[in-house]
């Protein structure tokens, strides 16, 4: 596992925490899907089918380590795993909703401007 040589100091810029969490591949979409209720990994892979399975698995593990998700493993065969949001994860929903609204409002401008590049 890669360890940053200069870890980020979040003391002076707490907004950086939210940026780091939400800017990682698929995290905002994963959090949004899990906010709808407790989900299993296969449900997430079905709803985010364009993302590679191994990437989603990696992101789920990272979100769990960050305290955004809670993973519950049932000791049955076959193994059953479910994810739900922690309180910290639930706190991100309003941020994701506002990003969605902003993107929806400005998507035409963005699409038109990127065509000019």
48-67: per-residue pLDDT in tens?
A: 999 999 999 999 999 999 99
> CA of 19: how far to CAs of 14, 28, 41, 78, 106, in Å?
9, 10, 24, 37, 20
Query: Residues 25, 93, 69, 36: is their CA dihedral positive or negative?
Result: negative
Contact 31, 96 (CB under 8 A): yes
SS3 content of the chain, % helix, strand, coil (to 5): 55, 10, 30
Query: What confidence score (pLDDT) does residue 4 get?
Result: 60
What is the model's pLDDT at position 12? Answer: 78
How many angstroms separate the CA atoms of 31 and 75, rounded? 25
- Give the pLDDT of residue 52: 95
Residue 116, pLDDT score: 63
6-20, 73-87, 95-109: the lowest-pLDDT one: 6-20
């Amino acid at each position: 596992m890669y360890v940053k040589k200069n870890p980020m100091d979040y003391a002076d810029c707490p907004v950086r925490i939210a940026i780091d969490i939400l800017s990682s591949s698929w995290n905002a979409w994963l959090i949004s899907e899990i906010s709808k209720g407790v989900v299993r990994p296969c449900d997430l892979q079905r709803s985010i089918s364009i993302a590679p399975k191994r990437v989603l698995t990696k992101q789920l593990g990272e979100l769990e380590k960050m305290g955004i998700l809670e993973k519950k493993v049932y000791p049955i065969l076959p193994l059953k795993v479910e994810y739900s949001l922690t309180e910290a994860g639930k706190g991100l929903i309003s941020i994701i909703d506002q990003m969605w609204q902003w993107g929806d409002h400005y998507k035409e401008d963005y699409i038109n401007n990127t065509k000019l590049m």
